[in-house]
Amino acid sequence: MLEILTKLPERFLENQEYAYAVGRVRALEVSLIDKQRFERLLKAGIEEMGRILVDTDYSHSLSELLNPSTFENALQNEKQRILTLIDSLIFEENVRKFLHLEFDYFNARVLLKGKIFDRDVSDFLVPLGNLNTDEMKQIFENEEYEKLPENLVKAIQDAISSYYNSKEPRMIDFTFDRAFIEHMNVSGYPPFLQDYYRLLTDLTNFRSLLRWKVMELDKSRFRDVLLPGGFIPEGMFLELIGEPVEQIPGVFSRWIYYPVFLEGTKYLNTNHSFIRYEAMVEKLLSTYIDKTRYLVFGVEPIIAYYLKKMKEIKNMRIILVGKFNGVEEEILAERLVV
Amino acid sequence: MRKQVSATRMELLNQKKKLGLARRGHKLLKDKQDELLRVLQDLIKEVMQMRREVEDELIKAMKRFVLARAVTEPMYIEDAFMISTSTFSITEARRSVMNVKIPVYESEFEGLLTSYGFLNTSGEMDLALENLHAVFEKMIKLAEKERAIILLSEEMARTRRRVNALEFILIPDIEEAIKTIYMKLSEMERGNISRLMRIKDVIRK
């Protein structure tokens, strides 16, 4: 797996102004939960988990974290804490905003759905975006979309027209996903982050292809779900929609993703599950993030820390949800990527 | 409490007719009871098997869903299920089994199973929904069969009460009445004979 990404060119900016921030992040990285600790958590009961986590970032919210009804709050608080920390470390405004963009797109999507289907969606909004959720609500209520950033306005307009053409709510999601990924490819963002999203786009497109085929959805509509801007051209996925699942990975034999596609498809065919593919995708993305390990300067190690922390929160969620619902340890271990 | 019957030949004939009818009725009801028992036993076997399958599939679907839930941000889960595009309708018809009207449910699912984007949701969520959809059809069939079992067992209890009433109350009562009438008639016959013999003796002397 590791050698796959050596084929990708390294596009780091190595900005020396981040010397302090990188030092700070390197110090913080030490407290990230490592593989051994996750393995211990997997084997532990809830009480034992408390003891294992006592000297980690979660120590201050252990009682909340180990409670089935409040653990999500603890994870969300941790996420918010990290976002605030990262905001304080990144001085380039566009990069800082970049990390909050996901939530702006999410809130806009939810508000648009609420508007179209006449639902109160206030509880669904996430206050982690660049835009204030109350202001966004007001904008959607008065339909003053022009007050929003240009990219978001375009996404909203596209989503409205694609919904009214098809009468399918999923078109709103597809349009917003596409708009978000298109936004990532706008110049001015760190190439490291852009490449991360290009990798994610390819891996998501491949998974979408498999999902579309497994669900036996209308082949002529597959174009709607494809995300733009990946390394693999969208046309390549479109051509494969009619092919048998087991023959699809072979088409990508010259691409760096081939082992992931091959293994993920094999597992899907034999076990009718996406677990392996999704775990391998996470592993590949982690390997990509780890390329910043030896960088001394630049915004990249800070973004990498943010992404690693998000992955840690995700792993914590996998373990906690699994433990609270009695999922077998082996299944959790298969899905956990450290 | 025994019914008072008049000891006449007419009544004897009536009681004998009644007894014949009660025995025929008893036989028919007994046959119905046996058939109901057979149908119920088959249905129970079928339902037990179906219930096991439904429970297994539900567990499988819920496990998948838990896994999908574990790997997806809660905000995306909430968003994914905020709007549903599919509609589900169920209609009830009736069919007769041993004169018991049991329900037949016909379900219809329209629209798409998924109404969410693919970027932030897990493929396991699609499979969990697919599993739940498949098990839902089975759950409706199971409900239909379980309802049939309830209705048939109620009919069975009613039939058993009737069979028992015929077998242990009505038929013995009629038999008893016939016996009583027969004995009284015989007694009257013997009384008449003795009276006639006595009259004959008096005339002869």
* Residue B114 sits at the chain A interface (C-beta within 8 Å): yes
pLDDT surpasses 90 at B178: yes
Of A175, A180, A229, residue with least CA distance to A202: A229
Q: Are residues A269 and A180 both part of a single domain?
A: no
Any domain includes A202:
yes
* Residue B165 sits at the chain A interface (C-beta within 8 Å): no
The per-residue pLDDT for range A73-124, each reduced to its tens digit, is 999 999 999 999 999 999 888 888 888 999 999 999 999 999 999 999 999 9
What would the two tokens of residue A181 be? 């990924």
Any domain includes A17:
no
Q: What is the DSSP letter of B82?
A: T
Write down all domains in chain B, each with its CATH number in brackets: 7-193 (1.10.287.3240)
Predicted pLDDT at A14: 62
Strands B87-97 and B100-110: antiparallel
Test B82 with A278 for CB contact under 8 angstroms. no
Any domain includes A19:
no
Any domain includes A21:
no
In whole angstroms, give the CA distance from residue A214 to residue B127.
8
The per-residue pLDDT for range A26-63, each reduced to its tens digit, is 999 999 999 999 999 999 988 899 999 998 999 889 99
In whole angstroms, give the CA distance from residue A237 to residue A206.
7
In whole angstroms, give the CA distance from residue B62 to residue A214.
19
Class of residue B200 by CB neighbours under 10 A (exposed 0-12, middle 13-18, buried 19+): exposed
In whole angstroms, give the CA distance from residue A53 to residue A41.
8
The per-residue pLDDT for range B28-65, each reduced to its tens digit, is 999 999 999 999 999 999 999 999 999 999 998 998 99
pTM, entire model: 0.84
Any domain includes A313:
yes
> How many separate domains does chain A show?
3
CATH of the domain at A318: 1.10.132.50
Question: Which of A173, A211, A269 should one mutate to test binding to chain B, selecting the residue with the greatest count of B CBs within 10 A?
Answer: A173
What would the two tokens of residue B158 be? 């009613």
Quote the minimal CA–CA distance from B65 to chain A in Å.
11
Q: What is the ipTM of this complex?
A: 0.89
What would the two tokens of residue A217 be? 């959805």
Q: Are residues A141 and A113 both part of a single domain?
A: yes
Test A278 with B123 for CB contact under 8 angstroms. yes
Q: Are residues A158 and A221 both part of a single domain?
A: no
Quote the minimal CA–CA distance from B131 to chain A in Å.
11
Any domain includes A185:
yes
What would the two tokens of residue A319 be? 């373990």
The per-residue pLDDT for range A130-146, each reduced to its tens digit, is 999 999 999 999 999 99
Quote the minimal CA–CA distance from B106 to chain A in Å.
24
Give residue B159's region: left, alpha or beta (phi > 0; psi -120 to 50). Answer: alpha
Which range marks the domain in which residue A288 is found? Answer: 1-12+191-293
